Amino acid sequence: MNYAERIRALREDHDKTQSEIAGLLKVGQRTYCDYEHGKTRIPVESLILLAEFYDVSMDYICGVSDIRVPYPKK
């Protein structure tokens, strides 16, 4: 699973709308939609925000691993 599929699955698992997540990332809903469809690359900073929000590791959110590991706490 690539990051575009993973961020969509995570959003749906948490019953969030594209608009809600777009607000979190401070982008428009259309831009976020493009992230989920792989039309636009999502910035690393946004992936970090999503990993923290969903409490999953960067490896998981990026599709490198299928194992849900919590986001590292500071």
The gap between the terminal CA atoms of the chain, to the nearest Å, is 28
The one-digit pLDDT tens for each residue of the chain (74 residues) are 789 999 999 999 999 999 999 999 999 999 999 999 999 999 999 999 999 999 999 999 998 999 999 998 87
Q: Write down the pLDDT at residue 10.
A: 96
Enter the CATH code of domain 3-61: 1.10.260.40
Q: How far is CA 69 from CA 10, 14, 48, in A?
A: 14, 16, 14
**CB neighbour burial string for 6-35, b if at least 16 within 10 angstroms, e if fewer:** bbbebbeeeebebeebbeebebeeebbbbb
**Is the whole-model pTM more than 0.85?**
yes
